[in-house]
Amino acid sequence: MKRCPKCNRTYQTDTQKFCTHDGGALFVVDPESETVQFDSSKVRDAVAKPTTRDLAEQKPAGFDPEATVVSAPRDESSTTTVISRNTRDIALSQATRTQEPPPAPPTGASSGAISPHQTSAPLPPPISTTSGPIPPPQTSDPLLATQAAMGPSVTSAPLPPPQARQAQPSQPLAAPRPPKKSKLPLVLGILAVLLVLGIGVVVAAYLVVVRPMLAERELERPAASEPTQTNPSLPTSATPTDVPKPAEEPPPYSPPADAVQFENAKDNLEGKLLENYIDFSFYYPNRWVKVPSTGNFITVERRLPPDFTQENFAAAPWYSSDESTFDDAFFRKLAEKDDVAFAKKFPEYRKVSEGPTKVGVYDAYEFRFEATSRGTDKGDITLWGREIFFPPRQGEKTGLKLLILTTSLAPELKNIDDVGQKGELPMLLESFRFGKK
């Protein structure tokens, strides 16, 4: 029987060496004797030996926490051959390193086989050296410094020294590819050649084909008669058909079927009308009526029964007692006189516009106006008017003026611009002609 000196636990197995509770070294106890005497030095030496718990608290540098091994006391008399580390050749250092022989098994109470109740088996002792840890070499190369710090456990292939690695020649870079040539100059050259060839073909075709054809046509063309030289100071004789008509004479008018022609005549004229007689003519619709007037050559009107005016057309002479040029300033004075008279005759009168105009092919001068008649049987009626002045014919001092009056009772008319353009008045203006037929 064996007893633990620390916890006094007893074990019946004689082959057990350590206490399974606290790891203390067991000693043999005679169960028949009441008092057991033993050497306290042996117990003290056994107790002083380190246990696995003590080893856990005293971890040497580079201790592996997985290796819980109790090493035997070092025998100072034994010598261990230690080979210094060669940092340049790790493989050679590992090959020449001698392994320390395993320690002798403990004597006395610690000898014997391991008890089957023991929870852990002793591990092989760590390799110790007398020279102590070798400091890593001082080098500027980070690879060598890392290798030296890791120690002999590094199993990678040895690296060449910095001098060898620096002297190693660098691999030459691949030769750069030559830049790809652009095809633009080739394309431009081809286009230039084609252009020159095309121009050459066109020139050759002109010289070979077109030019001979033009020469043949020039020979076939009859010679033109040379113009006769005439004396510009002598008038040339001409037939009546060669005399051009005046530019002011319009072409003949083709009247509609319901049109009635008016042609001015001296019959039944007297006073100023007879003295300032002018030949003219026009067509008007047959549903219009003539209105008697002592100051006009003719007055015709389109009426709304019983006697409301829709469109009115009148022709009268104007005359000048002195020699004057019939320009715009002259006609402006004539229009000013009639403008004052109309303002006294028509209620709410105002002049709208004034200036040169044309009636067919004839040049003229006109002014336009409007007025309003309120409270009639047809309600408020708007009146629009135009007075047109024609200059005298060649060699005369008397001219003709046309007075056109329209009202809002004509459904086609909406404003002053419609006068003479819409309704039935356009027939009278288009058919107006000076002279006799």
SS3 of residue 75 by DSSP: coil
Q: How high is the pLDDT of residue 302?
A: 96
How many residues are there in the chain? 437
> Strand order in 259-263's β-sheet?
259-263, 280-285, 433-434
CA–CA distance, 329 with 333 (Å, rounded to integer): 7
Radius of gyration of the chain (CA): 72
Q: What is the largest CA-CA distance in the chain?
A: 194
Q: How high is the pLDDT of residue 259?
A: 96
* Regions of the chain with pLDDT less than 70: 31-180, 219-248, 321-324, 437
- 255 close to 285: Cβ distance less than 8 angstroms: no
Token pair for residue 220? 């076939």
Q: What topology is assigned to 259-434 in CATH? A: Protein Transport Mog1p; Chain A (3.40.1000)
Q: How high is the pLDDT of residue 33?
A: 56
Q: How high is the pLDDT of residue 55?
A: 54
Q: How high is the pLDDT of residue 113?
A: 40
Instruction: State the alpha helices, DSSP H only, in 308-424.
Output: 328-345
What is the CA angle 399-404-405, rounded to 5? 150
Q: How high is the pLDDT of residue 56?
A: 53
Q: How high is the pLDDT of residue 23?
A: 83
Q: How high is the pLDDT of residue 298?
A: 95
Q: How high is the pLDDT of residue 414?
A: 95
CA–CA distance, 253 with 427 (Å, rounded to integer): 10
Token pair for residue 373? 């008649």
152 closest CA partner among 101, 102, 99, 103: 99
Give the CA distances from residue 170 to residues 162, 166, 173, 174, 225, in Å, rounded to whole numbers and listed in that order: 15, 9, 9, 12, 101
Domain boundaries in the chain? Answer: 1-159, 259-434
CA–CA distance, 318 with 402 (Å, rounded to integer): 10
49 closest CA partner among 23, 28, 67, 30: 23
Q: At a CB cut-off of 8 Å and minimum separation 6, what does 298 contact?
A: 262, 264, 290, 314, 315
- 280 close to 433: Cβ distance less than 8 angstroms: yes
CA–CA distance, 18 with 109 (Å, rounded to integer): 9
pLDDT tens digits, one per residue of 239-287: 434 444 445 678 889 999 999 999 999 988 999 999 999 999 999 999 9
CA–CA distance, 389 with 264 (Å, rounded to integer): 18
Q: How high is the pLDDT of residue 37?
A: 52
368 alpha-carbon distance from chain centroid: 55
Q: How high is the pLDDT of residue 393?
A: 83
137 has which bridge partners?
Answer: none
